[in-house]
C-alpha cells in the first residue's frame, strides 16, 4: 500500500517542517485558543499513536489507551524531531499488511473490547488522526508563532484537497 506509506510520510514531513520553524519556547507555550495546551502536547499525542502502532505491530496487539504520555516528546523539540524521523523510517520499511487485534475501552470501567484489524487499517486511522491534530496545531501555531509557514495542505484531509481542486477547476 504505497499510497498509505506516502501519505504517512508526507504528514510526518509536514510536521517536521512546522516544528523546525518553531523556537523551543513556542513549542511548549500554552495556547489560549487550544485551552492551554501547547503545540508540543498535540504533536506528542499524534506521534504516540504512531508509536503504539509500531509497538503493537511487533506483538500483534494495539492499544492506543496505553500511550506513554511522554513529557519529553512534548517539551524537547529536538527529541520530537528525532521521534518523527524514527517513525518516518518505520513507516517506510513496513510494506506488508498484517492482521492485528485492537484493544480499546469505551466505558468508565476498565473493560476492554478486542477488535480484529490490520496494520494498514490502523495506519489509515493514524493518518486521519494526525490530520485532525494538525488542523488543531495549525490554529495554535497561528496564535503562538504566526511567522511560521505551513503548507496549504497542513491539517487538511486529502478528500478536502481533492474537492478544492475540483471546485477551482469547475470555476474556471
Cα–chain-centroid distance for residue 1?
19
Pick the CATH number of 2-171 from 2.60.260.20, 1.20.1440.80, 1.20.120.450, 2.40.100.10: 1.20.120.450
Name the average pLDDT for the chain: 94
Sorted by sequence, the CB contacts under 8 Å of residue 4 that are 6+ apart come out as 120, 123, 124, 127
pLDDT in tens, 19-72: 999 999 999 999 999 999 999 999 999 999 999 999 999 999 999 999 999 999
Among 136, 44, 128, 122, residue whose Cα is nearest residue 84: 44
pLDDT at 159: 87
Model confidence at 106, pLDDT cuts 50, 70, 90, reads confident
Please give the Cα distance from 123 to 101 (Å, whole number): 14
Domain boundaries, the chain: 2-171
Give the β-pairing of 99-104 and 61-62.
parallel
Please give the Cα distance from 88 to 82 (Å, whole number): 10
Grid cell at residue 78: 529536538
Q: For 103, phi and psi rounded to 5 degrees?
A: -100, 135
Please give the Cα distance from 99 to 115 (Å, whole number): 11
Contact of 87 with 79, CB cutoff 8 Å:
no
Please report where in the chains the cell 477488535 appears, as a residue: 115
Percent of the chain exceeding pLDDT 70 equals 98
Question: 3-state DSSP call for residue 55?
Answer: helix
Please give the Cα distance from 6 to 133 (Å, whole number): 19
Please give the Cα distance from 24 to 32 (Å, whole number): 18
Contact of 38 with 141, CB cutoff 8 Å:
no
Please give the Cα distance from 53 to 122 (Å, whole number): 7
pLDDT in tens, 57-93: 999 999 999 999 999 999 999 999 999 999 999 999 9
Amino acid at each position: 500500500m504505497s499510497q498509505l506509506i506516502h501519505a504517512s510520510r508526507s504528514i510526518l514531513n509536514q510536521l517536521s517542517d512546522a516544528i523546525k520553524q518553531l523556537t523551543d519556547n513556542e513549542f511548549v507555550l500554552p495556547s489560549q485558543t487550544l485551552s492551554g495546551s501547547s503545540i508540543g502536547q498535540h504533536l506528542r499525542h499524534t506521534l504516540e499513536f504512531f508509536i503504539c502502532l509500531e509497538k503493537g505491530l511487533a506483538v500483534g496487539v494495539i492499544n492506543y489507551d496505553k500511550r506513554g504520555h511522554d513529557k519529553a516528546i512534548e517539551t524537547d523539540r529536538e527529541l520530537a524531531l528525532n521521534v518523527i524521523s524514527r517513525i518516518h523510517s518505520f513507516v517506510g520499511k513496513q510494506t506488508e499488511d498484517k492482521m492485528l487485534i485492537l484493544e480499546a475501552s469505551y466505558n468508565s470501567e476498565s473493560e476492554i473490547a478486542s477488535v480484529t484489524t490490520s496494520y494498514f487499517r490502523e495506519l489509515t486511522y493514524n493518518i486521519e488522526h494526525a490530520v485532525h491534530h494538525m488542523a488543531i496545531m495549525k490554529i495554535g501555531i497561528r496564535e503562538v508563532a504566526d511567522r511560521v509557514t505551513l503548507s496549504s495542505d497542513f491539517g487538511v484531509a486529502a478528500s478536502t484537497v481533492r474537492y478544492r481542486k475540483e471546485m477551482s477547476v469547475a470555476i474556471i
